[in-house]
Structure 1
């Protein structure tokens, strides 16, 4: 059951924080980076903790607030209303909410990785993509070979978000190539581990700086194994599905919200009523899709179809609105200090990451071809509970 009052409470709570504590720092964000001065970032994080906006999704038994997925989406909607949404320190595992895959940590690993991430003491990277294999884990070339009481890693990961600045990396390697995806295993590799070589920083058109990572006879003990051998693909897929609901869709909705607000403030006579009406219809549809996927995720149903639809709808809408905003604002929007161009450059990577838009379209189309009915995807009481307010 999704409670309307709670959704509005958390969205407004984060929106007030964003406008008061983050908007003033937006002019300090370097034009082509997503990193603020350390003191500024720490100040923002400190105030988030003080105001109860930290470790929101972490289960209460681990010291977090245990927010439901719909409530976390509401919080991140509000976070999308600032161009600081992607700053280092609030990105992967941001706001004290570790990557979901790290809940597979054993007790010792929780002390070394999970709890420090919750405190904001560590940065982490997710290293799966390779030069010849992006989303295709079956085609993974990185290998981990058993040696004594550990494993030897050899391979090359590229285009890794926060890869050059993270304290440790979640690395996927094939431990049994003949099994394909079922032979992929996950490891936790600390920065500074012999054989773990941080290569070049890859510049992007947005604010992200990606890393090129190499593993050359990199030995990791069994204590660095996350889950069991061969569990890597299953754990990664579950994490990706959750991400497609909580990371990109709510941020995109927040971006659309602020972009429309700014257009109406600065260029009220340039915004066509019919275009705005169409955008509002698409906006409400995208929110319905996101909250339905979030609801299903918490009910332990399979939300893969809804998660894919949510990504396609929200990311596509954000790109559409930002393109139009650049057209309406003309040279003002094209200027390097414009909010519109900043949002556009950072959002442009979202159709690629967390499973490309084309892949998500393929997921949904194949479901329909197999005989899946979109009507069957609606959660119980979906129209009565979610549709009333989202």
Structure 2
């Protein structure tokens, strides 16, 4: 069973932090950026560390809090209650919670990458998506060719979050094209490495600034291989599932909660009871799906089906709620300083990134076709256990 008290403890702790330490700085966030002044960002990070909200998923033996996936979902749900949820410095490798694949670092790599990330001294990027191939590792064009005691990278990665500001990049490349996904290897490439070229910054409709990365005759020594050669896809698969549970779904639920509260506070007479009742039902369904996936992940399972369902339910619900919020609030919601329009622009990328919504629907449908039984996979989680209401 999941530890309900632990989940509630971390949710309340993070929610108090968001309301006291983050909400006051929301007006400082530029219209089309997710970056606050360095002094403000550092101040928030230092307070997170002081209050024990840093390195939450890091094992205790490495100096972290070692909380469960379920509790981390609760923390990120609270984080979703601020438009600062995606700000550079506390997102994707920030908050002292490194990308899970980095736990495959050897001892030397831990000193250079893992531990500095945990301390908040570095920013990392995950470089998989390619022009024409998307995030499909089987169709990956970036090659790593053996040369002496290292590898030469050739390829192009695009739409990489924090790609232009990261200190190092986790790059996936094909080392044996004939083996498909079994021939994919992961490399750690430092900013400034000869042949690693940071291209144009890709502007978006939200606050994200994405990177266009090129590798031309980029020599990488064997010491920069992460894990085992040819095991890149398998090594990352577990991270993909965990990331799909903890990255987008809880943020979406936090956004839905705050959006509904703001609508009821400012436009109570315009919110239709039937619509609100339907949203309440969908909110609880989405929330249970997320915690079901987190519960199974904590048990050591690989709940790919449940993770995909969670993304479809939470992201779809958030888009629906924000569209309706813009309609209800009219010109107020469309205004530059409106929370609704800011949330909407930032969230609009979620159906596309981290595995598109269409891909997740395909994953779940194929699982059923192959004989997967969602009834047999049900876990003993109830609404009363996970708590929380809009």
Partners of 2:299 and 2:251 lie apart in 1 by 23
- CA separation of 1:177/1:117 partners in 2, compared to 1, >3 Å: closer, same or farther? same
Partners of 2:136 and 2:80 lie apart in 1 by 30
Partners of 1:16 and 1:101 lie apart in 2 by 31
Corresponding position of 1:262: 262
Contact 1:263–1:325 (8 Å) recurs in 2:
yes
Contact 2:69–2:295 (8 Å) recurs in 1:
yes
Which stretch shows the higher mean deviation, 332-341 or 47-56?
Answer: 332-341
Partners of 1:336 and 1:80 lie apart in 2 by 20
Corresponding position of 2:29: 29
Contact 1:145–1:175 (8 Å) recurs in 2:
yes
Q: Could you list the per-position Cα deviations for residues 60-106 of structure 1 after superposition, in whole angstroms to 9, with x for gaps in the alignment?
A: 11110100000000000000000000000111112110001110001
* Secondary structure of 2:95 counterpart: helix
Q: Could you list the per-position Cα deviations for residues 203-259 of structure 1 after superposition, in whole angstroms to 9, with x for gaps in the alignment?
A: 000100000000000001111000011111112221111011011000000000000
Unaligned runs of at least 5 residues, structure 2: none
Q: Could you list the per-position Cα deviations for residues 298-320 of structure 1 after superposition, in whole angstroms to 9, with x for gaps in the alignment?
A: 10112111000000000001000
* Secondary structure of 2:206 counterpart: coil
Please show how residues 291-302 of structure 1 align to structure 2 within 5 Å: 291-302=291-302
Q: How far did 1:389 drift?
A: 6.6
TM-score by length of 1: 0.98
- CA separation of 1:185/1:8 partners in 2, compared to 1, >3 Å: closer, same or farther? same
TM-score by length of 2: 0.98
Corresponding position of 2:181: 181
Contact 2:288–2:382 (8 Å) recurs in 1:
no
Corresponding position of 1:286: 286
Corresponding position of 2:97: 97
RMSD of the TM alignment (CA)? 1.2
Partners of 2:241 and 2:3 lie apart in 1 by 23
Between Structure 1 and Structure 2, how many residues are aligned? 389
- Indicate whether 1:382 and 2:385 are aligned: no
Contact 1:4–1:389 (8 Å) recurs in 2:
no
* Secondary structure of 1:325 counterpart: helix
Corresponding position of 1:365: 365
Partners of 1:111 and 1:230 lie apart in 2 by 24
Please show how residues 24-103 of structure 1 align to structure 2 within 5 Å: 24-103=24-103
Partners of 1:288 and 1:317 lie apart in 2 by 13
* Secondary structure of 2:376 counterpart: helix
Please show how residues 141-290 of structure 1 align to structure 2 within 5 Å: 141-290=141-290
Corresponding position of 1:136: 136
- Indicate whether 1:10 and 2:10 are aligned: yes
Q: How far did 1:377 drift?
A: 1.8
- Indicate whether 1:122 and 2:133 are aligned: no
Q: Could you list the per-position Cα deviations for residues 287-332 of structure 1 after superposition, in whole angstroms to 9, with x for gaps in the alignment?
A: 1000010000010112111000000000001000000000000011
Partners of 2:182 and 2:167 lie apart in 1 by 28
Partners of 2:219 and 2:167 lie apart in 1 by 17
Contact 2:11–2:75 (8 Å) recurs in 1:
yes
Contact 1:80–1:254 (8 Å) recurs in 2:
yes
Partners of 2:353 and 2:259 lie apart in 1 by 22
Partners of 1:201 and 1:111 lie apart in 2 by 30
Contact 1:306–1:377 (8 Å) recurs in 2:
no
Q: Could you list the per-position Cα deviations for residues 266-298 of structure 1 after superposition, in whole angstroms to 9, with x for gaps in the alignment?
A: 101000011001101100111100001000001
Partners of 1:382 and 1:268 lie apart in 2 by 33
Partners of 2:383 and 2:157 lie apart in 1 by 46
Contact 1:291–1:386 (8 Å) recurs in 2:
no
Partners of 2:93 and 2:387 lie apart in 1 by 31
